Structure formats: C-alpha cells, structure tokens
C-alpha cells in the first residue's frame, strides 16, 4: 500500500497544509509519495524531499502546471493514481478545486475534509458545519481524500532525505487560462497557520475599524480574520472569512471581537486551543465556547488591549 | 444560450441540526427544508444573465426525493423557466449526482452550468468539479465574479490567498461563492406563476446511471462539546489570564 499526496506549493516553497496532509498519509501506513506539480518547481521539489516521513518525491515540471489549473493537474494525478491505494491533498481551495476532478476521472467517490482516520478505508469527517461528525467507509479501490489541516499535526519540514524523480508531464488542455492573481500582500502570518488569530464581526461596524484589530495583530504576530457577517457587510475581503464556508482555523489563541457566534462561524474556529470573546451582548452564543469572555464595548476594550499589550 | 442550474434541498440554514439517537444520521423529519443557500446564489446569477439578454432559458434541475419539487418551485418562483426532477429515494453522493447531471446536460445542451460551491448539509464541495471532469469541460470554482465573453468567460475565484482571475472556455461549469450576488426573494405573483411552470420528472435508470453509494456512512455522532469558560471583568484581567494561566501570549 502506498499513498500519493498532492503537494500544495508555490513552485518555491511547500505550503504548510502539505505537512499536515503528510501526517495524515503516514497514519494510513505504507509509503508516502509526494507529487509536486508545477512550473520551475525544482526548489519546491527539493523542499518536499526534506519533509520527514516522505519516501519519494515526484516532480512534474511543465508550464501547464504553473498555476495549478485543475483541468491540467487532474489528468496527471489520474495517470499516476493506479499505483496507489490512496490519493490525498489538503482541503484548501487548492485541493478542493483539483481533487473532485481526479475522483470523477477515476470513477471513485471522494471523502472530503477528513478530521480523523479510523482505518485505511474508514474516516471521520464533519458534516452540517461541524454540528455532527460522520464516520464513513470508502468502498472504492482508490481512496481520494482531502484532509482538514487543523486536525493533523504538521510533519517536520526537515529531517527527511527522499529521492526525487521526474514524472512525465502532460499537455496543457487549453480549456482554461490563468489571467492574474489579485491578492493583498500582507506581512502578517497566514490565517490558517497563524499561532494567534484575531477576528472581527458585524460589531466592528466598518472596515476602517479593522485597523484596531490589525494594531493588536501586529503586537501578537497574529493573523486577522472575520466572520461571514463582516465579509457580507463588505468590511473586509472574503479571504478573511473564518467559518463553514470560509477557512477552518485552530490556533493556540483565537480572539473573537464583536462576533455573535453563529453556528457557521463556530464551525471554523471551535477547535482553537484557547478562545477569547469580546462582545457587549452578554447573551451572545460566542460566550458559550469562549474560555475567557469579556462583556464590553469593543471600541473601548480594543484600545485598552493595545495599550496593555505594549506594557 | 441555455443555462442549467442544479439545486439541492437541504435542512434550512437557520435550523440547528440534531443527531439522531441511533447514530444513523441527523434528524430531517419534521424539520424545515429549503434550497441550499449557495444554490440560491447560482439561480440568481442565471436570472441576472437572462435579464441582461445573455441567456435564453434557465433550467433548474434537482436530484433526490419527490419533495425536491418544492426546491424546484422556489427556483421557478425566482425566475427559472422550467424544472427537471431526477427522482430517487437513494441518498445520492456527489459522484452519482454529477453522473445524473451529465446525462441531463447531454440532453439539454446548456452553454453554462451554474452550481453552488457546496451544500450546507454534507459540506462536500465536489459536485461541480466532478461534473466538469465527466464532461471534459473547463471549470471556474468558488467564483465571486462572472463576465461572459465570446465563447469564453472571465471568472474571479475566491482562493485562500485572495482572488484569482481565469479565463474559461465555454461551455463550462462554474461554482459560486457567497459574494457573487445577493439572491432575490420571490414575489407572491411569481410564486403563483411558478406553479404553472413545467417540471419534468426523470428516473436514474432511464438516464442509465448507477447511483449506488461508494462511500457509506457507518455512524453519525455529536461533536465533542466545548464548555464555556469564565467571564473576566476587564482587559487587564484578560491579559493577565492569557499570560499566566493560559500562557498563550
């Protein structure tokens, strides 16, 4: 039995979500083979070889894989899949985009967003925004699975020395063309991997007020997130969103500011180690999951928090 | 250009689901059911394209139990022209749904299929991508913007690191994210009119699709409960607790 892991990377570096996926793959038993599909991705391939627990790295280097377009990457994975019992990828937008395409081409079902492994064919996954946990068994010969990063520890990025082989790259299908990336560069850590996350909700009242959260984030080296309500209100872009339909985070410390605690938000953060809630409504459901609750007007509490942290 | 919009009947987004005592699933008896919120956004997008003169007909399709008719009526009341129900009592998985939809696509020949990015019941996020693969079409997933061109569409995708803009060749599959639009409410006259719009019923057998499950659910349980902690009186105490008790800052 061996497991193929589709690595998420930016051609230079391996994304942290890949490390969590390697841990999940190792739990299944057997060899863990990492596939790095990219363009000019030798650096990422070399980084992949150092990950502890990886038996082999396959590098498929082609302009067709430069932007990880699902139409091009999926056939590559499908071509390799018959040698493996499992194909895994992180349940990030990268994995979510490509893996169902892989599964359908293999004519197998997909098990999405697993949070636990019971046996090589039986997995635990959250359904209904994490309000229920389902144990499911895959009857397919090849198991196609996406992995919830926050549920598995990261494999050490150093310490391994796996051999790197080239995999034959396929053609560009020409179905889809990458135009551009519109992302805001931030000096802060990434939301899904940050040790501390501070999020704002509708209670922030305006996008400008998120500056108060940013000031605290900079002091704590934290990432800034938001509830769906804050995103819907246009305060911040959607890539800030924590919740069922946004990002799943599980930091050491999660600070929820002006967030009432709707089910769909809790689904994205309730596995955090320590949760702090600041809300002026003492009945807000967020307090039911918070380790430390502060009933206060955030416009008064946040400046105080910034000041106290400076001490 | 025809647009096909698959819609799913799910437990209403405002209902707090309960796990059944026997651990076989969640309670769906006597629970309010509605159209999956992402499917509403998909229907809305199709209607806007028709209103802009870029689509000629909107066909809503649902796969599932007979009551999925109600979900189709909702789509028709919003502005879809006709409905197709692929009726079965089998609990359908995304792969089975994608195969059924492929059969419907081959019959109807739409230029664009618009789906929600995920259903809020099983949170799979698979069907659109699978359908795209089975058809060999291009896919634009998790989109927050759609601009139709000549034989192509530029779509903006909501990805983890921000936004990605890609050009997809038509016919194509797109799956929609939250910020694409705000779905309309159906007006009373439109709800009445929708009752007269046609719904065709098909069976999986007639479409030649095997819908038997590949992934079986062994049990469903409540997630571990997180207990409420303590309330702190002020910011100073909060910081003190985080530093000395929780030791996280």
Q: CA A241 → CA A39, A82, A181, distances in Å?
A: 30, 37, 18
Examine residue B214 and state whether it is found in any structural domain, yes or no: yes
- Dihedral angle at the C-alpha atoms of B214, B217, B223, B224, nearest 10 degrees? -110
What per-residue confidence (pLDDT) applies to B162? 87
Which residues of A fall within a CB distance of 8 Å from B17?
128, 131-132
B93 interfacial to chain A (CB closer than 8 Å):
yes
Examine residue B247 and state whether it is found in any structural domain, yes or no: no
Q: Averaged over A186-198, what is the pLDDT?
A: 90
What per-residue confidence (pLDDT) applies to A166? 97
**H runs (alpha helix) in chain A:** 16-28, 42-49, 70-81, 93-106, 210-220, 228-232, 263-269, 298-310
Q: Which domain holds residue B65?
A: 2-224
Nearest beta carbon to residue A97 from set B19, B129, B169: B129
Which residues of A fall within a CB distance of 8 Å from B117?
245
User: Which position has the higher pLDDT, A237 or B95?
Assistant: B95
Chain B nearest-CA residue for A221: B249
Asked if B248 and A274 come within 8 Å (Cβ–Cβ), the reply is yes
Q: Averaged over B34-39, what is the pLDDT?
A: 97
What per-residue confidence (pLDDT) applies to B227? 86
What per-residue confidence (pLDDT) applies to A187? 82
What per-residue confidence (pLDDT) applies to A311? 83
Examine residue B110 and state whether it is found in any structural domain, yes or no: yes
Asked if B234 and A294 come within 8 Å (Cβ–Cβ), the reply is yes
User: Under 8 Å CB-to-CB from A183, ≥6 apart: which residues?
Assistant: A239, B161, B162, B163
What per-residue confidence (pLDDT) applies to B164? 96
pLDDT(B186) > 90? yes
Number of domains in chain B: 1
Asked if B248 and A130 come within 8 Å (Cβ–Cβ), the reply is no
What per-residue confidence (pLDDT) applies to B226? 85
Asked if B162 and A304 come within 8 Å (Cβ–Cβ), the reply is no
What tens digit of pLDDT does each residue of A270-289 get?
999 999 999 999 999 999 99
Examine residue B207 and state whether it is found in any structural domain, yes or no: yes
Examine residue B141 and state whether it is found in any structural domain, yes or no: yes
Q: Averaged over B195-220, what is the pLDDT?
A: 96
Chain B nearest-CA residue for A309: B239
Q: How many CB pairs under 8 A join A and B?
A: 263
First to last CA, chain A: 55
Mean pLDDT of chain B, nearest integer: 96
Examine residue B212 and state whether it is found in any structural domain, yes or no: yes
pLDDT(A185) > 80? no
Asked if A135 and B131 come within 8 Å (Cβ–Cβ), the reply is no
pLDDT(A206) > 80? yes
Which residues of A fall within a CB distance of 8 Å from B36?
none
Nearest beta carbon to residue A184 from set B162, B167, B239: B162
What tens digit of pLDDT does each residue of B189-200 get?
999 999 999 999
Nearest beta carbon to residue B17 from set A132, A175, A178: A132
pLDDT(A184) > 80? no
Q: Averaged over A70-83, what is the pLDDT?
A: 97
Q: How far is A45 from chain B (nearest CA, A)?
A: 21
Q: What is the DSSP string of A220-280?
A: HT-EEEE-HHHHHTTSS-GGGBBSTTSB----SEEEEES----HHHHHHHTT-SEEEEEES
Examine residue B233 and state whether it is found in any structural domain, yes or no: no
pLDDT(A218) > 90? yes
Task: Render the burial of A95-116: b for 16+ CB within 10 Å, e for the rest.
Answer: bbbbbbbbbbbbebbbbbbbbb
Residue with tokens 């994304």: A15
What tens digit of pLDDT does each residue of B45-70 get?
999 999 999 999 999 999 999 999 99
Examine residue B134 and state whether it is found in any structural domain, yes or no: yes
% of chain A at pLDDT higher than 90: 93
pLDDT band at A16 (very low <50, low <70, confident <90, very high): very high
What tens digit of pLDDT does each residue of B123-146 get?
999 999 999 999 999 999 999 999
C-beta of residue A287 within 8 angstroms of C-beta of residue B231: yes
Domain harbouring B203, CATH code:
3.40.50.620
What tens digit of pLDDT does each residue of B87-115 get?
999 999 999 999 999 999 999 999 999 99
Mean pLDDT of chain A, nearest integer: 96
pLDDT(A186) > 90? no
């Amino acid at each position: 039995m061996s497991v193929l892991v589709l690595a998420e990377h930016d051609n230079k570096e391996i994304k942290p979500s890949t490390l969590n996926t390697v841990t999940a793959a190792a739990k299944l038993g057997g060899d863990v083979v990492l596939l790095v599909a990219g363009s000019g991705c030798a650096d990422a391939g070399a980084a992949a070889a150092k990950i502890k627990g990886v038996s082999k790295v396959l590098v498929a280097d082609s302009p067709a894989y430069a932007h990880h377009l699902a139409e091009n990457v999926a056939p590559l994975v499908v071509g390799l899949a018959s040698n493996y019992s499992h194909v895994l990828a992180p349940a990030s937008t990268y994995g979510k985009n490509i893996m169902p395409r892989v599964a359908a081409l293999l004519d197998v079902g997909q098990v999405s967003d697993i949070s636990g492994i019971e046996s090589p064919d039986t997995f635990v996954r959250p359904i209904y925004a994490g309000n229920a946990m389902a144990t499911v068994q895959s009857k397919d010969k090849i198991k196609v699975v996406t992995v919830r990063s926050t549920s598995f520890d990261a494999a050490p990025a150093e310490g391994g020395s796996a051999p790197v082989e080239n995999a034959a790259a396929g053609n560009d299908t020409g179905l889809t063309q990458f135009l551009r990336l519109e992302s805001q560069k931030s000096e802060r850590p990434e939301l899904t991997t940050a040790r501390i996350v501070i999020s704002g909700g509708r209670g922030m009242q305006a996008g400008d007020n998120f500056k108060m959260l940013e000031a605290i984030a900079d002091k704590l080296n934290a990432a800034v997130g938001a509830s769906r309500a804050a995103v819907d209100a246009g305060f911040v872009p959607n890539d800030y969103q924590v919740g069922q339909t946004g990002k799943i985070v599980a930091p050491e410390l999660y600070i929820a500011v002006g967030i009432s605690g709707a089910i769909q938000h809790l689904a994205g953060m309730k596995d955090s180690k320590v949760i702090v809630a600041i809300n002026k409504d003492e009945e807000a459901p967020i307090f039911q999951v918070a380790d430390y609750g502060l009933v206060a007007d955030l416009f008064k509490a946040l400046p105080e928090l910034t000041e106290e942290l400076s001490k | 250009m025809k647009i096909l919009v698959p819609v799913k009947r799910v437990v209403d987004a405002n209902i707090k689901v309960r796990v059944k005592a026997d651990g076989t699933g969640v309670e769906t008896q006597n629970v309010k059911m509605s159209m999956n919120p992402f499917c509403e956004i998909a229907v809305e997008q199709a209607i806007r394209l028709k209103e802009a003169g870029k689509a000629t007909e909107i066909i809503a399709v649902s796969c599932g139990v007979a009551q999925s008719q109600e979900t189709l009526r909702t789509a028709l009341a919003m502005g879809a022209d006709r409905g197709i129900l692929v009726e079965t009592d089998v609990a359908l998985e995304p792969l089975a749904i994608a195969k059924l939809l492929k059969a419907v696509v081959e019959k109807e020949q739409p230029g664009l299929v618009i789906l929600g990015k995920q259903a809020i019941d099983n949170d799979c996020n698979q069907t659109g991508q699978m359908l795209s693969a089975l058809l060999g079409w291009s896919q634009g997933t998790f989109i927050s913007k759609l601009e139709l061109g000549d034989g192509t569409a530029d779509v903006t995708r909501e990805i983890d690191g921000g936004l990605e803009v890609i050009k997809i060749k038509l016919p194509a599959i797109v799956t929609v994210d939250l910020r694409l639009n705000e779905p309309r409410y159906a007006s009373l006259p439109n709800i009445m009119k929708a009752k007269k719009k046609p719904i065709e019923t098909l069976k999986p057998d007639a479409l030649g699709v095997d819908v038997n499950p590949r992934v079986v659910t062994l049990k469903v349980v409540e997630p571990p409960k997180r207990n409420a902690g303590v309330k702190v009186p002020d910011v100073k105490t909060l910081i003190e607790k985080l530093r000395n008790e929780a030791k996280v800052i």
